[in-house]
Each structure stands twice: as structure tokens, then as C-alpha cells.
């Protein structure tokens, strides 16, 4: 009888121990509007997530990042499209929840979540940023965005980047909240003096919009990543910006 009591006591103790471990691993569901370090958490509707990734043309060749990744929905959706993806989130509970959801979705080999500060995150290797941040957050990150590789895409839910007009804006059909999707393509840095076979080229740059002169002829044009297009008089010039050179079909330019 004593042996039976000991065994029952041991079984009860083990049950309590394992129950405690399981409880410790449970992650509470986030609540819309709950405060975070830099921004409150509000979920992006699934339809908006999908439109964001479609507008950014996310595919298997991309490395997608989300700053303030919350419950991981942007990153998991990108991984479902075959992309490698990483979410940076300050709240450790949300990091663990995201990891659990990525595993449940079968994409944990492509979707990574790390605990960290979004302002200190290294975004230099990302080809796409998928974001839902406040305008103040976007403004603080703007200089980092502009230092990304030309052609990198930044796609955001609802809130824009002060001073920088989106290259494309779309609306989710039949949507009642969080319906706007905006896309920016990081432009190459071309402001300054260049030399071309047709004379000196001086360019001013306002994000993706350029102006200036070729010789004495006014220039107007745009950048799409590293692709430069401008008109000087009746002539249109197109070329690819490669460091301190622009390589066009029938012309070149070298930065002076």
C-alpha cells in the first residue's frame, strides 16, 4: 500500500512539473492596440498582406524583412511564396508566437524571427521590406531605406514616408480598414556632376525624380531603382546606374 501511494505521489508530481513547463511555454494571443516599444500592435488584414506582397512582386528570389513584425503574418505570407524572410520584433512573446505559427504553417525553414530593435536592425541585405508602421517610425527609418541597394522595394500598409512619394499606390477592394498599399523602389544616388559624350550632365535628385541640365539643355526624368530615364530636349536617354557610371545603349556617363 505504501508503495502504491509513493507511485501515485510521484506520478502526481511529474504531472504538475510537466503541466508547469507547458504553461510556461504558452504564448498569449496579442490584442489589437496593445502597446509596444515604438508602435502599438494592430493586425494587418490578410487581404492587405497579400496585396502588399503582390504589389512588391515577392517571389522565391527575394529576402523579405518586416520591422516590428508582430505576430509574423507578413513574414509567414512571404515564406509561403517561397521567399526567405525575417521578422524583427522587440516583444519576446510575439517572437515566440511567430515562430510557432511559422512552424504550424510549414515555413519555419524560410521564416526566421529575431528579438531586436527595428531601428538597429541590419536591412542591407533585404530586397523587400513589408511594413506596417506609423509615419513617425517611417521618418526615422527613411535614411536607412535610402541606403538600401537600388531596386530594393519597400511596401507599406496605410502609412507613408514623409517627403517621398510612392511609386505605386493600390487599394484593397471592398475593404473597410487598413486598405491602402504603397510601394517605393529605392533609387540609385545620381545627384552631382557627370560627363557624357554630349557634354557635362548635372543632376539634382528628389528621391526618384531628377532634374538638371545636359550642357545647357534642361533635363527631366526619373529613376526606377538603378534604371535612369531622362529627356533633354527632344532626346530621351535611358541607362543603368553602376556605381559612378551610367551605361546606356548608345551613350555613357561618368561621375566627375
Going by C-beta distance under 8 Å and a sequence separation of 6 or more, which residues neighbour residue 223? Answer: 150, 187, 188, 190, 205, 208, 209, 210, 229, 241
- Range(s) of the domain holding residue 94: 46-185
Number of structural domains the chain divides into: 2
Q: From CA 79, how far away is CA 58, in angstroms rounded?
A: 9
Residue 220 lies in a domain: yes
Q: Looking at the structure, tell me whether residues 178 and 95 fall in a common domain.
A: yes
What is the residue-averaged pLDDT of the chain? 90
Task: Grade residue 8 by pLDDT with cuts at 50, 70 and 90.
Answer: very low
Q: Looking at the structure, tell me whether residues 156 and 53 fall in a common domain.
A: yes
DSSP one-letter string for 192-204: EEEEETTEEEEEE
Q: Looking at the structure, tell me whether residues 113 and 173 fall in a common domain.
A: yes
Residue 8 lies in a domain: no
Q: From CA 66, how far away is CA 72, in angstroms rounded?
A: 8
Going by C-beta distance under 8 Å and a sequence separation of 6 or more, which residues neighbour residue 194? Answer: 200, 201, 202, 203, 246, 253, 254, 255, 256
Q: Looking at the structure, tell me whether residues 174 and 244 fall in a common domain.
A: no
Q: Which of 147, 168, 185 corresponds to the end of one domain?
A: 185
215 close to 200: Cβ distance less than 8 angstroms: yes
- pLDDT, tens digit, 9 for 90 and up, residues 108-117: 999 999 999 9
Q: Looking at the structure, tell me whether residues 67 and 179 fall in a common domain.
A: yes
The stretch 211-235 carries a mean pLDDT of 97
Q: Looking at the structure, tell me whether residues 172 and 217 fall in a common domain.
A: no
The stretch 56-80 carries a mean pLDDT of 97
Residue-wise burial string across 220-249, b where 16 or more C-beta atoms lie within 10 A, e elsewhere: ebebebbbbebebeeeebebebeeeebeee
Residue 226 lies in a domain: yes
Place of cell 561621375: 255
Q: Looking at the structure, tell me whether residues 104 and 166 fall in a common domain.
A: yes
Residue 145 lies in a domain: yes
- pLDDT, tens digit, 9 for 90 and up, residues 207-222: 999 999 999 999 999 9
Residue 12 lies in a domain: no
Read off the pTM.
Answer: 0.86
**Share above pLDDT 90 across residues of the chain, in percent, rounded to a whole number:** 82
Dihedral (CA of 141, 147, 149, 152) sign: positive
CATH number, residue 109: 3.40.50.150
Q: Looking at the structure, tell me whether residues 106 and 203 fall in a common domain.
A: no
Residue 34 lies in a domain: no
Residue 163 lies in a domain: yes
Element containing residue 55 per DSSP (H, E) = helix 46-55
End-to-end Cα spacing for the chain:
95
Which residues are bridge partners to 195 per DSSP?
200, 254
Q: Looking at the structure, tell me whether residues 151 and 226 fall in a common domain.
A: no
Q: Which of 185, 210, 245 corresponds to the end of one domain?
A: 185
Say what the pLDDT of residue 169 is: 98
Q: Which of 185, 203, 233 corresponds to the end of one domain?
A: 185
Residue 16 lies in a domain: no
The stretch 21-36 carries a mean pLDDT of 61
Say what the pLDDT of residue 30 is: 74
Q: Looking at the structure, tell me whether residues 55 and 181 fall in a common domain.
A: yes
Q: From CA 102, how far away is CA 107, in angstroms rounded?
A: 5
Q: Looking at the structure, tell me whether residues 158 and 238 fall in a common domain.
A: no
Q: Looking at the structure, tell me whether residues 79 and 118 fall in a common domain.
A: yes
Amino acid at each position: 500500500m505504501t508503495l502504491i501511494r509513493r507511485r501515485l505521489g510521484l506520478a502526481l508530481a511529474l504531472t504538475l512539473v510537466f503541466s508547469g513547463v507547458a504553461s510556461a511555454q504558452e504564448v498569449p494571443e496579442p490584442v489589437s492596440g496593445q502597446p509596444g516599444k515604438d508602435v502599438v500592435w494592430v493586425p494587418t488584414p490578410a487581404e492587405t498582406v497579400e496585396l502588399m506582397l503582390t504589389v512588391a512582386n515577392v517571389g522565391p528570389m527575394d529576402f523579405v524583412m518586416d520591422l516590428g513584425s508582430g505576430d509574423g503574418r507578413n513574414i509567414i505570407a512571404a515564406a509561403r511564396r517561397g521567399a526567405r524572410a525575417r521578422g524583427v520584433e522587440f516583444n519576446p512573446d510575439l517572437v515566440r508566437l511567430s515562430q510557432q505559427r511559422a512552424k504550424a504553417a510549414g515555413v519555419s525553414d524560410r521564416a526566421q524571427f529575431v528579438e531586436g530593435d527595428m531601428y538597429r536592425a541590419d536591412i542591407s541585405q533585404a530586397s523587400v521590406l513589408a511594413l506596417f508602421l506609423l509615419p513617425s517610425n517611417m521618418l526615422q527609418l527613411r535614411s536607412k531605406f535610402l541606403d538600401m541597394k537600388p531596386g530594393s522595394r519597400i511596401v507599406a500598409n496605410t502609412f507613408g514616408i514623409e517627403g517621398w512619394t510612392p511609386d505605386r499606390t493600390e487599394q484593397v477592394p471592398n475593404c473597410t480598414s487598413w486598405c491602402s498599399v504603397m510601394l517605393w523602389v529605392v533609387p540609385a544616388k545620381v545627384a552631382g556632376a557627370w560627363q557624357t559624350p554630349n557634354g557635362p550632365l548635372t543632376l539634382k535628385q528628389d528621391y526618384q525624380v531628377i532634374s538638371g541640365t545636359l550642357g545647357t539643355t534642361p533635363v527631366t526624368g526619373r529613376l526606377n531603382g538603378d534604371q535612369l530615364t531622362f529627356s533633354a530636349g527632344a532626346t530621351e536617354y535611358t541607362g543603368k546606374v553602376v556605381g559612378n557610371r551610367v551605361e546606356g545603349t548608345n551613350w555613357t556617363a561618368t561621375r566627375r
